[in-house]
């Protein structure tokens, strides 16, 4: 049983080492100006180093990830580092980091909720403007058809009047 657990743990460590290699490769492929994405990858490195038991490296990348202006990256870093502190047996520090993670996660949720509300408001305004636009297009089409109808009726009346005048003029010439 112990051999199976050791084998499973070795596989997990191998997977985590592979993940670290992929993260390093992703960081290397990113342009240096893309700091937000790189800092997000640093938060992932905190988690992986914590799982591997390399707490100094985890703390190093935690410091880098916490410098991110992105609250979600900061929250991830605090969450992962609290797990590393818990594994180290430093429960008080883990608890304080977990509290900070909770505050940041709530802020991120509020930001996303606010963004969703703004997006819904913009969608509602767009729909409202679309309906209004359709109404005005319909009105313009009605006016245009009314103008065509009036022009047609005017031309028809002019033609009828011209025809009647022509017949009247012709019959009058015959009588004279």
CB of 59 closer than 8 Å to CB of 47: no
Give me the pLDDT at residue 161, please.
96
CB of 64 closer than 8 Å to CB of 39: yes
Give me the pLDDT at residue 3, please.
64
Convert the pLDDT of each residue in 61-83 to its tens digit.
778 888 777 888 888 888 888 88
CA pair distance 86, 80, nearest whole angstrom: 10
Convert the pLDDT of each residue in 147-168 to its tens digit.
999 999 999 999 999 999 998 8
CB proximity list for 70: less than 8 A, separation 6 or greater: 36, 39, 40
Give me the pLDDT at residue 174, please.
73
CB proximity list for 76: less than 8 A, separation 6 or greater: 40, 43, 44, 46, 47, 65
Convert the pLDDT of each residue in 36-57 to its tens digit.
777 777 787 888 888 788 778 8
Give me the pLDDT at residue 34, please.
64
Give me the pLDDT at residue 176, please.
61
Convert the pLDDT of each residue in 94-150 to its tens digit.
888 889 888 888 888 888 888 888 888 888 898 998 989 999 999 999 999 999 999
């Amino acid at each position: 049983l112990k051999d199976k657990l050791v084998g499973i743990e070795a596989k997990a460590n191998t997977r985590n080492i592979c993940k670290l290699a992929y993260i390093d490769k992703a960081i290397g492929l990113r342009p240096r100006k893309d700091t937000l994405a790189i800092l997000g990858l640093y938060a992932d490195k905190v988690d992986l180093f914590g799982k591997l038991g390399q707490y100094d490296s985890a703390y190093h990348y935690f410091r880098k990830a916490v410098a991110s202006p992105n609250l979600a990256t900061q929250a991830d870093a605090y969450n992962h580092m609290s797990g590393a502190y818990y594994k180290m047996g430093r429960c008080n520090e883990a608890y304080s980091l977990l509290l900070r993670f909770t505050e940041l996660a709530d802020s991120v949720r509020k930001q996303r909720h606010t963004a969703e509300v703004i997006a819904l408001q913009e969608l509602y305004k767009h729909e409202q403007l679309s309906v209004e636009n359709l109404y005005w297009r319909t009105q313009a089409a009605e006016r245009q058809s009314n103008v065509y109808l009036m022009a047609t009726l005017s031309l028809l009346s002019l033609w009828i009047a011209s025809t009647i005048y022509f017949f009247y003029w012709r019959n009058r010439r015959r009588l004279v």
